[in-house]
A and B are shown apart, each in its own frame.
Chain A
């Protein structure tokens, strides 16, 4: 069964600290994996996209990793800011099919001053 699981479900950290969010998936055949940031009451916005051959990709203070063998991905946020408070959703795409996106339930990050 194709599934995407994220952990932790929620996380509270102090401003300036680092954190790591996890995504495990069983989706196959795998095409790519994306991390989205979703602010409260807004639509998700893409942060990074990882293909099978990519292990690490950075976007500013966000660094995503992918281990296609263990089917795990992480999103590391460095020097967190109050504006990082949001839900972070992991989305895995199958190689085939029209409706081929599988969404995790997200990690709710709260950065406190």
Chain B
């Protein structure tokens, strides 16, 4: 296991299209987080899973955003009807308990 994997690394899409990002956390990590990061800013919390349960969602996560972690392993983040303001880096991180977060390399979304 080489860490947190995210796919795709880059996605360019037209406004109005749907996109889906996948995150494969470190296998023994039960906690999984999604963050959004724009240029020059720190990561902003989007949502958090403990195993398969989505325990918290940010108000940043509008109804166009949905995240799942169906079997408590990998997770997907889907954005429907993308807008130009959705352009950002989407970071996934995983951890066990209060341990340090391990981040993936991120998925960069560009909405034209």
Q: Which residues of A contact B55 (CB under 8 A)?
A: 98
Q: Contact: A105 with B42, CB < 8 Å?
A: yes
> Is the CB of A11 closer than 8 A to any CB of chain B?
no
Q: Which residues of A contact B6 (CB under 8 A)?
A: 43
Quick one: CB contact mask for A53-74 with B, threshold 8 Å, 1 for yes? Answer: 0000000000000000000000
Q: Is A43 in contact with B42, judged by CB distance below 8 angstroms?
A: no
- Check A103 for interface membership: any CB of B closer than 8 A: yes
- Asked whether, in the complex, the Cβ of A43 is within 8 Å of the Cβ of B103, the reply is yes
Q: Tell me the complex Cα distance, A44–B58, Å.
A: 20
Partner of A43, one of B40, B50, B56, B106: B106
Q: Which residues of A contact B101 (CB under 8 A)?
A: 46, 101
Q: A residues touching B (Cβ–Cβ < 8 Å)?
A: 4, 31, 34, 36, 41-46, 49, 89, 91, 93, 98-99, 101, 103-106, 108
23 contacts between A and B (CB under 8 A): A4-B42, A31-B98, A34-B100, A41-B89, A41-B105, A41-B108, A43-B6, A43-B91, A43-B104, A49-B100, A89-B42, A93-B98, A98-B50, A98-B55, A98-B56, A99-B56, A99-B58, A103-B43, A103-B44, A105-B40, A105-B41, A106-B40, A106-B41
In order of increasing CB-CB distance, the 10 nearest A-B pairs are A43-B103, A103-B42, A105-B42, A46-B100, A99-B56, A44-B103, A43-B105, A43-B106, A98-B55, A98-B56
